[in-house]
Every structure is written in structure tokens, then in C-alpha cells.
Structure 1
Amino acid sequence: MKKIILFLTMCLMAFPVKADEGMWFLMFIERLNHRDMQKMGLQLTAEEIYSINHHSLKDAIVQFNGGCTAEIVSKEGLVLTNHHCGYDAIAELSTAEKNYLKNGYWAPDRKSELKPSSLYVRFFVRMDDVSKRILAKVNDKMSEEERGKAIQQEMAVIEKENNEGGKYTVSVRPFFQGNEYYYFVYQDFKDVRLVGTPPESIGKFGGDTDNWEWPRQTGDFSMFRVYADKDGNPAEYSENNVPLQPKHYLPVSLNGVKENDFAMILGYPGRTNRWMPANGIEQNIKYAYPAWVEGAKTGMDQMKKYMDKDATVRLAYASKYASTANYWKNRQGMIDALTKHGTVKTKTDQETKFNTWANKPENKAKYGNAVANINKYYAMTNEKSRHDNYLQQMFRTTAFAVVSTTLGKSLDAYVKADEAKRKEMYPEIMKSVEEGQKEMYLPAEKDLLAAQLKLYATKSTGYPVAPIVEKLAKENNNDFTKYASDAIDNSIVVSPAKVKAFLDAPTQEKLDNDPLLTLSKGLIAHIGMKSPELAQAQNDFGAGFRLLVDGLRESKIGMIKYPDANSTLRLTYGKVRALPADKRNADAKINNYTTMESMVKKYKKGDEEFDLPVKLIEMNKAKDYGRYADKAGYMPINFLTDNDITGGNSGSPVLNGKGELIGIAFDGNIEAMAGDVIFDPALQRTINVDIRYVLWIIDKLSGAKHIVDEMTIAK
């Protein structure tokens, strides 16, 4: 441990790090970042940010349902996150008659808080370094598969040692491409209930048009509450549960922000690839991402066709459509930004320098083949990456392409089970089918499947398509309309009624001959298929990538001093900071914030993306902002900081130097879309909801002052 910390400290001394770049471990803040943060405006000690023995900021930050971040904002377990993070739960609780997604909802009391079927928050307890222990279990003679098995075995031992008999969830994670390992201890709470959400016209204002854009005027927030048993422990849902009394919660500041104010964000960034080799970036730009974009758009077009016709169908596909649309725009932005920045050339130049260093006599035995093995693998998989992304978009946007691994697997186990086991499985299977039915509409699924099969069959030309699709394409002249319709009509897995009929008279023959299960099995088997040559290249790539990262750090050719994001808690710090002036904001005195006036200018009555509640229009006209207005008199909506975030940070708290909540992070800007691969200090921005707008919506617009009263407003 001491050696690692000393090494990182020496690296920082040799290569000064720009303060707003980096997703940092909390346990290293005091040694690596605290002094810089103090110079920028931090007033907290490192112990107040991260402590094992005392309550600290980390205790108020939770991972929200595995994919977002949220924060505790009251002593009774009130949780604040993004509207788009709560989207699934809000949609699930909504009906055409009680459409909380469209109209909003605010619980008048605790009994009215709504419990979704599956929602949890994860508290971070502690972390520690186990690099030496794990790496002692491997050696250079092992294949990557053997290495992986040895590491997994030791991970399992470490996780069991630290879970205290199942009280905690423990996860050991690799960093720096498997050159370091740390374990993380968490506690999960599963009784999480919806407290309130603004209407979609506020929470998703601007829709797909404004997504990833600045200026923004989006009230992207929703509120939940964590419940526990009477002793404060995690518990399944029960009417007897009580609001959680957290170790720490965030006070809220109404003082607002100005240019160059200190801002830090704690959250769970999902995935970055700052260490990705040059040819991996080129593969994404030329092969993988274009296929992703086209496949996502194909799925979106088919969903939208039916969503526009029926409110119930719109609710069923709302979450899937929103997620697909988000990544569709993201991946196109990645293509444009990485191309514009010339990232491939920058990385290639770095790897050329590394290769020269790696082939010096003293380094050659260990590092000499690293770059060659990496490049060989990418050359072999360029066309496969295009193929796989077309297929993956079929998996993501259609309900039945992966059904063999979900419902099909359960039905197969049911057929093989004895009568006693079948009685146990029956209600579980039916429950899952009934839940799944809520998220699909069969006429839409027919068109989705037909369109995605056609795209896959006709565009995956550089790598063989799945044999079953090749056969169907020839038989139907690449028109899958009739096939998709017939397959769904004749399948046993498409509705609760058909599944029930199968469960009442199960046979292996019915499963083996089911058209959708047959298609799904063929697709899954094909995407996982590897030739011996590809398997060997993948093995060599794994070792080569690990050695590249290790060598870049040792040689000091690599300038990155923090590990890639991997859904573990990180801290990023920077300032409130405007974007460089351009045509979009040339009329603004300063472009680090937006106001309600600018939002109302975008208002289009009845428009799906730019509609607003009539009451909001009226209150803005009357300047009825209450105590939430800025000192200058305007109602703030969103503001910019230069924090380093990525997906998974959605819902993260934006804090001032005192650790007070000033906003909620919800997006990045299109100019910095390459941020998962490179950090651009000139253009990288985080778009945040101003906490004053959040409280104004809850209190003044929605009349839910009791919720604001529950929070601590900092003086």
C-alpha cells in the first residue's frame, strides 16, 4: 500500500495534474488532491469527505438502482436523484389513468409514498487495497483464462471474509487494467419508495432535441425515500418499516453559484476508457459505433410509430426508448468528437514512444510484444465489432431476441423439474411473464424484430451473420415482415396466456420447436462463437493491454494518474465554468447558467419536447419565485461546471466548498462527447440542475412545502 501511494505521489510531482480532470478514489484524497482542492475553495477536511470510523460525505452518497447516483438530503432518508434515473420506477407506477410520468406526483404524507416492484440504493461502507494479495496468486506462465480463474477464486475468498455473514455486499474490482485490485464493502437497502416527481414536461424538458446540448433548461430530478426496519437495518418492503436515519445527509445551499466557484461531485461513474489503445478507438469510430447508431435509430423509429398512437403503449416503451435515444445521440457524438480531436493519432504517437521504450534491452522481455499483440487483435475484430453491434441493438430494442436466456431458460428448467419443483416454479414464472407483458406491445414487437433482422442481415457484410438469419434472409429475400409476424403468433413465450398453457402441459418438443426460442438460441450462440485463432488473439490482447498500461505508468509516458471509472465511488472537483462563447450563447453576458425566461422562450404549447405546465408559465410571468430566486432576480434553472463525469454520475450531488448541495448533475455537453476516452479541459462540462429550481418546483409550483421543510437549508 505505502509503495503504491508513494508511486502515485511521485507521479503527481513529476506531472502536475489539472485539478478538474480525474475521477479519484476517496481513500487517497488527502495525499493526492486535498491541497489542490483547498486552493480552489474546499473548506472540508479529508476526514469529513471520507472516514471509516466517523460519518462523512461518503455516507450521504448512494448508488441508485445499480446505474445512477443519488444523495440523502434529510435525516429521514429522503433521496434526490435525476428524473431519468427514476424513470423506470415512475413509469412502472404509472397507468394511463394515473400517469405520474406525464403529470407528476407528490406524496402528501408517508402513507402515500409509492413502492415500485424492484428498486434499491447502495451505501458505500469502506474500501481497501488487496493488489499484493491477489497478484501473488498469478504468474507470467498462466494464460489469461487461467489467470482470470485464479483471481476470481481469491476474489471470492476476500468477499466472503468481509461480508460479515451476508450483512454486506462485497465487491473486488480490478483497476489500471488488472494491475491493481481493491475491495469495496456496501450495504443495500431494498425498500425504496417514490416521494415525488415533476411532470415529464419539466423533468425531460427539451427531450431528444436538447439532450447533450447547451444551453439547457431541464428540471431533471425525482425524489424517493429509503426505508429500514425499526433497528435501521435493510429489510424487504413492509408497512412496519420506518424511514432510514442516515449517518449523514446533505444540507442545501440557496446562495447560488457564480463563475469560478469551487464545485465537487461525488458519484458512481460507470465506464471510461481513457487507457484504450489507438486501434481500439479507431475500431469504435469506423466500425462499432456507426452500427450502434444505425441499430438504435432503427429500434427507435419502430417504437415511436406505436408510442405516438397510444398512451398505454407509450408508457410501456418509455424507458426503453429513452435509454436507446440517449445512447444513440451519445455514440454519434463520440464519433464526431473523437474524429475532430484526432484522438487516434494522439494515442498512436504515445504508443510509438512506448514501443520504443518497450523494446529497449532491459524492457523487451516483459513489454516488447504488447503493442503488436494489441494491434493484431483489433485487426482481427474490426468487422466482428460492426456485426456484434448490429446484433446487440437487436438484443436491446426487441423483447424476444434474447428470450432463450431469460424466459426460455426458466421454461427449460420447468420441463426437467419434478412435480414438487414445478409447483414452486409456476408462480415465479407467471409473475415474471406478467411483469414483462407490461413492457411490450406485440404489433410493435413484430415490426421491431422484422426491422432489426433486416438491418442485421443486410449490413453485417464483413463478418458472417448467424446461420439461422442467413437461411431466413435467403428464403424471404431479406424481407422479414411475414417471418416475424408468424414467429410471434406461433410462439409460446409471447403472452401470459400462452405461457400458462405451456406450464399446464409442458413438453421438451414444444420448447425445441418454438420459433422465437430457436431464433434466440441461434443469435446468442453466434455472437459468443470464437475460432481458436480469435481466442488466442484475445488472450494475447488481454496480456498486452495490461502490460501497456503497466508500462505507460512505469515509463511515465502515460499522463493519466487515475484508474478508469468502473461504477465505484469517485470524487471529481473543479469550478463553475462557462463554455467558450459561440453562436449559441453569444447573446448571454455569461453562459454558465440558464434562467426560466430562456426556458419559456423555448415553450411550445402541446409539443412533446417543449411543452410546459400552464401554472409554471403564469408564475414566471408574475415573477413568483419566492426565496428561490437569484439575488439578481431571475429564476435559475441549469448551470455548468468543469467536473469530470460520465454515465453513472447521473443524479450525483454538486457540492460547494462547505459540502452543501448546490445542484444535481444530469448531463454533459456534445462538444466533449469524447470525454469517456479523452479529457478536454477547454470544452469538458457537466450540466447541472440548480438546487434552487428543484426546491421551487417542489414548494411553489407543486405545493409540497412539507418536503422542503424536511431538508436542512444552510444559513
Structure 2
Amino acid sequence: MKRVLLILLIVAVKWNAMADEGMWFLMHLKRLNERDMQKMGLQLTAEEIYSINNSSLKDAIVQFGGGCTAEIISKDGLVLTNHHCGYGSIAELSTPEHDYLTNGFWAASKQQELKPKSLSVRFFVRMDDVTQRILSLVNDDMTESDRERTINREIAKIEQENNEGGKYTVSVRPFYNGNEYYYFVYQDYTDVRLVGTPPSSIGKFGGDTDNWEWPRHTGDFSLFRVYADKDGNPAPHSPENVPLHPKCHLTVSLKGFTNNDFAMILGYPGRTNRWMPSGGIDQNVNYAYPAWVEASKVGMDNMKKHMDSDQQVKLDYASKYSQVANYWKNRQGMIDALNEHHTAETKAKDEAKFSKWANRKKNRGRYGEVMATINNYYEQTNLKARHDNYLIGLLRSSTFAALPYSLGNALVYYAQQNQAKRQELIPQIQGNLEDTYNNIHLPLEKDVLGALTNLYASKATEAGIPQYVEDLYQSNNRDLRAYVNAAFDNSLFASREKIEAYLENPDSTLVQQDPLFQLSTALLDRYRESSPESEALEAEFQKAFRLMVEGSLKKNPKRKYYPDANSTLRLTYGKINPLPADPSNDASINYYTTLKGTIAKYKPGDEEFDLPQRLMDLYEAKDYGRYADKAGYLPVNLLTDNDITGGNSGSPVLNGNGELIGLAFDGNIEAMAGDVIFDPKLQRTISVDIRYVLFIIDKFANAPHLVEEMTIVE
């Protein structure tokens, strides 16, 4: 469940809510949810969850690395998140000699904690509604571009007014497809250090095979720590920094839970599209997602053959491969689920009801053409969606699909400057070279670029590929692999040393005639390509979509709604809830798994299902310490019916007292349609039981000092 580069229709909407459906704004909990949550088992007030003036649970929840969620679990800034959320940082800190990704890492003291090059956490301070202020400045006579410019000017003012001289990061976000606007105030900390991580045989147990599946047996967690200056303020990494003392940290519960117990999750869900029309669903199922899946698989296969033969390459590409693989399986699951549940047909029935309402005399002038405009847009862009996903798959997996374009243009600019300006630019260019070329494996990059360019040139032609690429493809007998290999051999961009030599004697002609630069430029120009016709089509669509949402809310004004996910802090609530009994799960009720089930999956030497000998020894001895359930087993994973999506990875699962009982890391493949439509029967959140987390830290890793930091209730 991780961020990837993709052009998607991202709309923020409301949806008719059930008790366990919805990703709710914290500022609205008192009005919309508090009573319902308390009936289900919540023992807290809305003020104890979200308060501007006092410490509350929201102060313990952070956005981690820009794409996941994490929580503060000690007074010394200890951060808990998923193993897969920390994956890139753990891989970055690893070498074949000190392979923390494979073997794990546990700092015996704060002095041993490790600082990745770039990692931050974001604390949520407050939010407020600025809808009236912004929408009072626009009207229906404006073009979409005029409307956008007016709104963006006001957004800039609001962000400036609330950042307190740069102390805070302020973000104004649209909701309900531009029918409402809220601003969010954040504080960012950039000195974040690795404290502990289990070996990948625990943290990623089950690999791609078990990904999105239940029952799961994965210890998907890692520990970090936030550092600040002596006054508790954000500060660049420094030996003088001290552990952050947060306003609030979560209490950890060892009490366990039973079926139907209350459970809530706070986190940063990335994206849902529950207002997506039937035409958009059909486009994804039949055009966009199949291209995504195919391109991802080609990229993965060409990365993995090199990763399997060289441990350093495996470490260097572990994060990229994991991201591609995660969404490869996700998108195939989406195709299957959306087809199986006939989601497009369900949406089409709702749209027919909307159209009937929209064409009543009093509504016709404003809403009568909305659905026709939306449907026309999808018909006109189906082939483009297929093309774009093949191209984005190429850009996502191949470093050298985009690097020569971005770096090459910087080098052309460099060559055009006088000597003084060049000296000013060199440190920035050198820094970029170090970040890029230190972890590049050219044989892998050649295979990935060659294979994916072939796929793009053969499969994306209906919407028009660049003429340059088409000519290369045809002149090389419809196989670009040999051409790409030769292009690397003759390219300025094949090594850091060649570029450093260029900096000594810059000549922009060398860049402009470079074969990788020319290929990359053709791809990126096509990626950014626009026309007056396409811009007009997009503007008509955006206006129609906004009116569809506006009209739908007017049509059913008494329903309780929540905004669609867009990486802002939300709360979702529900309960511990099993799926139908599964004979592959040894648990007596199918809402949890145990270490017995983990051992049953053990396959010696298998990359996905191998296990450390120490874990098996602890199992044989039944040496679970205080982390065993009262029934005697050691719990591993659990199920709740909370409504989550990508970005919620690492989110805390809390009981009715607001105590930590689990760590969300996945959804179930049966509910892969959940980003588009919520299924109360099948939608589940898969989490690591906090007792398994503490067992691994204490008994497996012999790091009880980390457990002693925490506030624990038994």
C-alpha cells in the first residue's frame, strides 16, 4: 500500500456512511460520530481525540516519510510504523557487510541509532474550513482556468497567513471535487533515526505471495526515533539534537481483544475515488489497470534477475522493486474485484437515478448535461489511459527513462552560463550525481529500459507514441534491446565520471546529440503533451464532475457524509470482525492468526517463507513471555472492519480506551474494489498484533530496553 507515480483521477468526495464505513475529519467527530462511536464501545470523548488547545491522540499520530502513517509510543519520541514503510531507509543504511534489511538491526543505545539521508515525520497541528472564503471569489461565468487561478491566489494567502513565519507547513486542500476547502497546519521534523527492525524473514514474511491475502503471518513493523533541538523544535540532523518529547504518546495494551470489540484507526489514507462514475471504472478495468499490471511485471522481472544474483544490487533496488510489486498485485486485484462485484453496473444504476433527478425542470439547467459530459470524456480518453499507464510503467521502473532528460537539461543550462555561475551550480549537480549514481547497476538498467521501451512501443500505439520512438522501433526490427545497450555504451549519462568530465569541459551539443537524452526527451515530451482540444475536454469534465458531486449532495441532503481520502489525517472506526472460517488458519475464530500458523508456512531457504532459527526455537519452547494471549497462543495478525486505503500503512489500531492494540499494514484482496466502493461484508484491515511486535522486540531481538520506554497496560 505505497505511493507510486501515476496520473489518476483523484477526487475528494463524500459518501453515505455506515457505522464501519468512512474516513472522518477529526474536527467533525463531535458533531457526526462521537455518539455512534461511544455506542460501539469508545470510552473517550471527541475532545480527547482531537483538541487544538490540549494534548490529544492526534498529537501522537504522524505522517511518515510522506506516504505512510506512524505513531509515537514513548515520551522519548519512539516511532512505530510498518517494516515496508521503513523499507527504503533500512535498505539505504544497509550494505552486504551490514545487511540490516535481511538480518535486522537493533540499537542498544540512542548513540547507535542510524540516520538515513532523508526521512521526515509530520505532526498535525490543526485544521479549519475556508470554503466560504474561497468559493465567494468564484462564479459560474468563469472559465475553469480562471477559476483555478483565482482559487490558487487565495490559497497562497491562506497558507501564508497561517504558517507563523515559516514555523509551520500549511496546506489548503479541495474536497468534494472543489465544493469545499479546508486548510491543514503541520510541523515537520527531519532528524529521524532508525532504532530497530526485524529481519525481512519476519518483517516481510510471505512476500508477494501473501501480499493482500488473509490469513497473514507478517511482523510488518519497524522502529524509529524523532530528534529535535534542546527546545523541542525541528532542527537539521546534529549530534546536539535530543529525542523529541511529544505532546502525547500512545499507551500500549497487552490486554488483547475479542470478536466484536471496538477498534478505531487514525492515519493518512492516500486516495479513494468513491464518486468515480461507471465510465471511469470501465476505463480502469479495461484500459488503464491492465497496462499498469503488464508494465509492472516486465519491470519486476528484469529487476529481479539481477537482484537475485548480487546482494548489493538487491539492497539498492529493494525499495523500488517492493513498490512496483505491491501495486502490481493491487491493480490486478482491483481488476478482479471490480469485475466480480459488477461495480460499474452498480454505479451506472446510481447515475441513472441522478440523471432522472437532474433532468427535472428545476434542475435541468444546471445538472441536465452532467452525466453526458462525463461519459463523453471517458469515451474520448480510454485509449489515452492505456497509453499513459504503459508510459508511466516505463517511467516508474526505469531510472534512465527520465534521468537523462532532467539531468541533461540541467547540463545544457550549465554549459550556457559564465564561469562564476557554473561554480555556483556545481555543488547542486554533484549532490544530484551522488544521490543517483551511487546505487545504479547498469546491466539492470539496460535490461529494464530495453524491455519496457519495447513493451511501450508495441502496446501503446493506439493513442500515439512519439515519432522518434516509433522510428527507432521500426528501424531496429521491432526490438530495441540492442539499441538501448549501445545507447548506454555511447551515452554521457552512463556514468558519473563521464558527467564530471563534462563539467570540466561543457558542450551542450554533447547532451543534445546523446542517444539516451534523445530517447528520454521523446518520452517526457509525450508524457507532458497537451493540446487546446485536450485541455478543453479536461475542463468540461472537471466542471461536470464538480456539478455531479454538488447535485448529488443536494439530492440527498439529510445523509451523513465523509470526505474521500487525499492524504489528510482521518479517523475510521469499526470492530474486530472475522472473515468466514478458513481451514488454512489455525485460529479458532478467523479474526486472528498465531505463531503456530507462521511456523506451519515455514519453507527452508525460500525467500518468502524462510524463518530465523531463533524464532522457531522460541516457538518450540513456547517462550512467549507476557505477550501470549490468555488462551496460551502467541497472536501475530488480526482483522478489523475499518475503512482504510494506501497511506494508512503504519496506522495505529486503538481500542475503546485509545490504547494501541495493533499496527495496520494491509487490506484483503476480496475487497480490492474498496477504493471505489465500500463493501461492509468483505472490507477488512489486516494488522500486526502489538503483542507480536513486543514479543519480537523483547524475546526475539533481546531489546527489552525499548519495551521499557513504552507505557504498557496489562
TM-score by length of structure 2 reads 0.97
Deviations 1:130-173 (A, max 9, x none): 00111112111222122111111111110000001100000000
What is the Cα deviation at residue 596 of structure 1? 0.3
Matched to 1:596, the amino acid is L
What is the Cα deviation at residue 404 of structure 1? 4.5
1:590 aligned onto 2:589: yes
User: What is the total number of aligned residue pairs between the two structures?
Assistant: 702
Matching residue of 1:635 = 634
SS at match of 2:187: strand
* 1:661-676 matches, cutoff 5 A: 661-676=660-675
SS at match of 2:561: coil
What CA distance in whole angstroms lies between the structure 2 residues aligned with 1:228 and 1:412?
40
Matched to 1:248, the amino acid is C
What is the Cα deviation at residue 469 of structure 1? 1.0
Matched to 1:482, the amino acid is A
Matching residue of 1:192 = 192
Where does structure 1 lack aligned partners over 5 or more consecutive residues? 1-10
Given that 1:130 and 1:183 are in contact with CA atoms closer than 8 Å, whether structure 2 keeps it comes out as yes
Matching residue of 2:6 = none
Matched to 2:709, the amino acid is E
Matching residue of 2:654 = 655
Deviations 1:339-395 (A, max 9, x none): 111111111111111111111121112111111111111101000100110000000
Matching residue of 2:519 = 519
SS at match of 1:84: helix
Matching residue of 2:355 = 355
What CA distance in whole angstroms lies between the structure 2 residues aligned with 1:560 and 1:291?
37
Deviations 1:672-712 (A, max 9, x none): 00110010000000000000000011111101111110011
What CA distance in whole angstroms lies between the structure 2 residues aligned with 1:614 and 1:684?
35
1:130 aligned onto 2:130: yes
Matching residue of 1:491 = 491
What is the Cα deviation at residue 407 of structure 1? 2.1
What CA distance in whole angstroms lies between the structure 1 residues aligned with 2:164 and 2:57?
24
What is the Cα deviation at residue 416 of structure 1? 2.8
Given that 1:212 and 1:670 are in contact with CA atoms closer than 8 Å, whether structure 2 keeps it comes out as yes
SS at match of 1:164: coil
Matching residue of 1:243 = 243
What is the Cα deviation at residue 559 of structure 1? 6.8
* 1:272-671 matches, cutoff 5 A: 272-556=272-556, 561-582=561-582, 584-585=584-585, 588-671=587-670
Matched to 1:628, the amino acid is Y
Matching residue of 1:686 = 685
Given that 1:81 and 1:651 are in contact with CA atoms closer than 8 Å, whether structure 2 keeps it comes out as yes
Deviations 1:300-354 (A, max 9, x none): 0000110111101111110011000000000000000011111111111111111
Deviations 1:99-131 (A, max 9, x none): 000000000111100000000000000000000
Matching residue of 1:8 = none
Matching residue of 1:165 = 165
Matching residue of 1:95 = 95
What is the Cα deviation at residue 558 of structure 1? 11
SS at match of 2:573: strand
What CA distance in whole angstroms lies between the structure 1 residues aligned with 2:559 and 2:381?
28
SS at match of 1:263: strand
Moved more, 373-382 or 505-514: 505-514
Matched to 1:637, the amino acid is V
Matched to 1:358, the amino acid is A
Matched to 2:652, the amino acid is P
What CA distance in whole angstroms lies between the structure 1 residues aligned with 2:404 and 2:359?
48
What is the Cα deviation at residue 505 of structure 1? 0.9
* 1:29-48 matches, cutoff 5 A: 29-48=29-48
Give runs of ≥4 in structure 1 deviating > 6 Å: 557-560
Matched to 1:653, the amino acid is P
Deviations 1:205-228 (A, max 9, x none): 000000000000000000000000
Matching residue of 2:180 = 180
What is the Cα deviation at residue 502 of structure 1? 1.1
SS at match of 1:150: helix
What CA distance in whole angstroms lies between the structure 2 residues aligned with 1:185 and 1:54?
16
Given that 1:62 and 1:124 are in contact with CA atoms closer than 8 Å, whether structure 2 keeps it comes out as yes
Matched to 2:611, the amino acid is L
Matched to 1:214, the amino acid is W
Given that 2:405 and 2:517 are in contact with CA atoms closer than 8 Å, whether structure 1 keeps it comes out as no
What is the Cα deviation at residue 525 of structure 1? 1.1
What CA distance in whole angstroms lies between the structure 2 residues aligned with 1:408 and 1:73?
45
Deviations 1:609-659 (A, max 9, x none): 001110000110000000011101111100000000000000000000111
TM-score by length of structure 1 reads 0.96
In structure 2, the CA distance between the partners of 1:73 and 1:327, relative to structure 1 (3 Å rule), is same
What CA distance in whole angstroms lies between the structure 2 residues aligned with 1:553 and 1:209?
42
Matched to 1:638, the amino acid is N
Given that 1:376 and 1:537 are in contact with CA atoms closer than 8 Å, whether structure 2 keeps it comes out as no
Matched to 2:482, the amino acid is K
What CA distance in whole angstroms lies between the structure 1 residues aligned with 2:55 and 2:417?
50
SS at match of 2:554: helix
What CA distance in whole angstroms lies between the structure 1 residues aligned with 2:530 and 2:537?
10
What is the Cα deviation at residue 233 of structure 1? 0.3
Deviations 1:9-67 (A, max 9, x none): xx99xx98321100000000011001110011100111000000001000000000100
In structure 2, the CA distance between the partners of 1:557 and 1:448, relative to structure 1 (3 Å rule), is farther
What is the Cα deviation at residue 440 of structure 1? 2.3
SS at match of 1:86: helix
What CA distance in whole angstroms lies between the structure 2 residues aligned with 1:499 and 1:74?
47
1:69 aligned onto 2:69: yes
What is the Cα deviation at residue 235 of structure 1? 0.2
In structure 2, the CA distance between the partners of 1:558 and 1:531, relative to structure 1 (3 Å rule), is farther
What CA distance in whole angstroms lies between the structure 1 residues aligned with 2:296 and 2:210?
18
Given that 1:293 and 1:332 are in contact with CA atoms closer than 8 Å, whether structure 2 keeps it comes out as yes
Where does structure 2 lack aligned partners over 5 or more consecutive residues? 1-12
What is the Cα deviation at residue 477 of structure 1? 1.5
Given that 1:430 and 1:496 are in contact with CA atoms closer than 8 Å, whether structure 2 keeps it comes out as no
Moved more, 211-220 or 361-370: 361-370
SS at match of 1:488: helix
Given that 1:263 and 1:573 are in contact with CA atoms closer than 8 Å, whether structure 2 keeps it comes out as yes
Given that 2:454 and 2:481 are in contact with CA atoms closer than 8 Å, whether structure 1 keeps it comes out as no
Given that 2:121 and 2:188 are in contact with CA atoms closer than 8 Å, whether structure 1 keeps it comes out as yes
What CA distance in whole angstroms lies between the structure 1 residues aligned with 2:158 and 2:300?
43
Cα RMSD, aligned residues only: 1.5
What is the Cα deviation at residue 449 of structure 1? 0.7
SS at match of 2:181: strand
Given that 1:552 and 1:558 are in contact with CA atoms closer than 8 Å, whether structure 2 keeps it comes out as no
In structure 2, the CA distance between the partners of 1:181 and 1:321, relative to structure 1 (3 Å rule), is same
1:206 aligned onto 2:218: no
What CA distance in whole angstroms lies between the structure 2 residues aligned with 1:577 and 1:415?
63
Given that 1:430 and 1:499 are in contact with CA atoms closer than 8 Å, whether structure 2 keeps it comes out as no
SS at match of 2:201: helix
Query: Quick one: percent identity of the two aligned structures?
Result: 63
SS at match of 1:689: strand
Matched to 1:505, the amino acid is N
What is the Cα deviation at residue 533 of structure 1? 2.5
What CA distance in whole angstroms lies between the structure 2 residues aligned with 1:351 and 1:560?
20
What CA distance in whole angstroms lies between the structure 2 residues aligned with 1:438 and 1:343?
46
What CA distance in whole angstroms lies between the structure 1 residues aligned with 2:130 and 2:331?
35
In structure 2, the CA distance between the partners of 1:676 and 1:557, relative to structure 1 (3 Å rule), is farther
Matched to 2:694, the amino acid is L
What is the Cα deviation at residue 405 of structure 1? 5.0
